Amino acid sequence: MKNKVAKSVLLLAATLMVAVFSFPRGDAAAQEIVSGNLFQNPGFEGGYFNQDGIPQIAVPNGWRMHWLDGVAFDGTEGKVAYRPETVVWYIEDAPLNERSLFFRDGSYTLKMFKPWAPVLMALSQEVSGLEVGRNYRISAPIFVDIVESYDGGKNAPARNDSGFVRFSVGPTGSGWNSAGLTYSPLWTAANVNGFYLNNITYSWDFTATAESMIIFLEMGSRHPYVNSGFFMDGVGLYALGTTSTVPGSSGGSSGSGGAPAQAGPTSTPFPTPTPRADGAIIHTVNTGDSFWSIAIQYAPALGLTPEQALPVIRELNNNPAFINVGQELVIKEAGTTVAAPEATAEAPVEGGTTEESAEAASTEEVIEVEGTDTEEPATEEVETPAEPEATEAAVTTGTICVAAFDDINGDGARDEATEGLQADAAITIFRGGSTVTTHITDGASEPYCFENLEPDTYQVQIFPPADYQPTTSPSWAVSVAEGAQVSVAFGTRFDPQETAVADASTSDTTTDTTTTETETADTGDAAPAEEGGFFSSIGGIVLVVAAILILLAGVGVVMLRRG
């Protein structure tokens, strides 16, 4: 009898052991990048030249600038745009407090600006060796330095329709804004949080229709502010592991695969906070805290949803980009009541919006006057090709897959052999300024895929755990097309900051500083902070179960011997 029981225990242990170690990890098949950077001189480290002999136009080698000069475009209210100034800026010439904002790749960045006038410009490069039907991704970190005034610091424009960023591609030899180009969505302050005075990475996927194509990175400002500037560094063009059918070609069908639908994160109930005698509520940041977890904790006390509480708490604390263990955050000021923020405007609908009119305007055929200030602007208008009307066919949804990793060496790229996934980071998807959903990483099951997203522009933003700082762009503005799957990986690194949250005297007074790029100096590898406890990851649970099974197996062996 004992032998039978022992054998049964051993059989059960072996069966469960196999089941545990074959348990699916939940990794999603995020769209794979299958090439290196295909742009020439992407970080602008390879020298520059003065285009058309103009001293004020410095252009990185391998690229070319385009601009309007003396010509008005739609949205400028009749004011003409003028030629910008461009500088390939050396990091040693930049103030210390600006180096982490504007420099992303090496020692040079491209600075483009024009004060007191509208500006419309683009940077282009012709790329060869593309595979027809292959999907490619353009990504460009851009700091939109549009300043309406300097009263008390940099003040961003109050208007959402002033600045914009857009990409386009077309056959080699195509002119800027010429017919036949394919355009990305128009990114503005209306659909990207913190659009002004922040470094955000803009991403767009397209399908190659020829082996050689020209790519335009376009940006501009419609109003004559004290400064309309843009910084760009470390742009990228990458081949993806998917293909799409190209009319008239033998390209394959889309190969992007999706993960099974996953339930959204659930909130954990917290005890009701006790206000101080004066009515104030203060939270001391603990290990594992994030802005999102704090917003969830105090939302009931504020009478708000977590999505509403998050911006309220950040604004009360001068919009800090990051938090650190031991800092005190004001949740509710003394003697005040916190009102719910006004509902954010819905995402722009087709037809009639300023963004749509600007997009249509910037596709007009315009006369470029490059390198001269004396020629009269051309007044002849060219008929703009009509945009194709949207079809009534059913919309195919897209997917965004996200992950965060512990970037130990701080290089912004994950070494899977030594750098694991990061737990307790909140990654939020925004659409038209409104929160769509949030995922809290567990450091084991990522990438996590947000599925069934309607084709549109989305913003993907990370809120790292306390004492962790991002080593990659903390905010991405991505375009999700029908059937497309976009992957975004955020690097984070343990790096406690000693600056007080309440001290905002040196920070820019912008409308939203969440996505300010703050790549920190390399201070050596520090020990990582706790990541939410042993049981916060599937890996820890698996190890515990495995240990129990080993004990069961040992009991079975002992019983067999005694039998």
Q: Give the residue-averaged pLDDT of 521-530.
A: 36
- Tell me, what's the pLDDT at 395? 52
- Tell me, what's the pLDDT at 555? 55
How do residues 145-179 score in pLDDT, each as one tens digit? 999 999 999 999 999 999 999 999 999 999 998 88
- Tell me, what's the pLDDT at 426? 92
- Tell me, what's the pLDDT at 303? 83
Token reading at 491: 């690097």
Q: Give the residue-averaged pLDDT of 453-474.
A: 91
- Confidence band, pLDDT 50/70/90 cuts, at residue 560: low
What is the domain partition of the chain in residue ranges?
Answer: 26-30+257-350+396-533, 48-254+352-361
Find the range with the poorest average confidence among 85-94, 226-235, 243-252, 534-543.
534-543
Within 8 A by CB and 6+ apart from 391, the residues are: none
Q: For 400, list phi and psi in degrees, rounded to 5.
A: -120, 120
H or E stretch at 548: helix 538-562
Q: Give the residue-averaged pLDDT of 300-312.
A: 81
Domain 26-30+257-350+396-533 and domain 48-254+352-361 have a common topology: no
How do residues 366-397 score in pLDDT, each as one tens digit? 434 343 343 444 444 434 444 444 444 455 88
* CA-based end-to-end distance of the chain: 8
- Tell me, what's the pLDDT at 3? 57
- Confidence band, pLDDT 50/70/90 cuts, at residue 525: very low
How do residues 431-455 score in pLDDT, each as one tens digit? 988 889 899 999 999 999 999 999 9
Contacts 24+ apart (CB under 8 A), 541-546: 542/20, 542/21, 542/23, 545/16, 545/20, 546/17, 546/20, 546/21
- Tell me, what's the pLDDT at 255? 41
Token reading at 495: 């790096």
Candidates 3.40.605.10, 2.60.40.10, 3.90.1300.10, 3.30.1240.10; CATH matching 26-30+257-350+396-533 = 2.60.40.10
- Integer angstrom CA distances of residue 386 from 169, 180, 199: 18, 12, 34
- Provide DSSP, 345-368: PPPPPSSSSHHHHHHHHTTS----
Nearest to 369 by CA among 169, 72, 74: 72
CA distance 329 to 439: 23
| C-beta of residue 467 within 8 angstroms of C-beta of residue 473 | no
CA distance 179 to 171: 10
| 77 Rama sector, left if φ>0, alpha if ψ -120 to 50, beta otherwise | left
Sign of CA dihedral 285, 291, 293, 297: positive
Beta strands in 12-161 (DSSP E): 48-50, 58-60, 64-67, 85-90, 108-114, 119-127, 134-147
Contacts 24+ apart (CB under 8 A), 51-59: 51/370, 51/371, 52/370, 52/371, 53/371, 54/371, 56/83, 56/85, 56/86, 57/83, 57/84, 57/85, 57/86, 57/371, 58/86, 58/87, 58/88, 59/86, 59/88, 59/123
- Tell me, what's the pLDDT at 43? 94
CA distance 40 to 237: 10
CA distance 75 to 464: 38
Nearest to 201 by CA among 227, 233, 228: 233
Token reading at 195: 């659009």
**What is the average pLDDT score of the chain?**
76
- Tell me, what's the pLDDT at 315? 85
CA distance 157 to 149: 8
- Confidence band, pLDDT 50/70/90 cuts, at residue 12: low
Find the range with the poorest average confidence among 328-337, 413-422, 457-466.
328-337
How do residues 190-199 score in pLDDT, each as one tens digit? 999 999 999 9
| C-beta of residue 527 within 8 angstroms of C-beta of residue 212 | no
How do residues 325-368 score in pLDDT, each as one tens digit? 888 889 888 876 555 444 443 333 333 344 444 444 444 334 34
How do residues 484-520 score in pLDDT, each as one tens digit? 889 899 999 998 875 444 443 333 433 343 333 333 3
User: Is domain 48-254+352-361 annotated with CATH 2.40.10.10?
Assistant: no
Three-class secondary structure of residue 403 per DSSP: strand
Nearest to 402 by CA among 435, 465, 445, 454: 445
H or E stretch at 7: helix 2-21
Q: Say what the pTM is.
A: 0.61
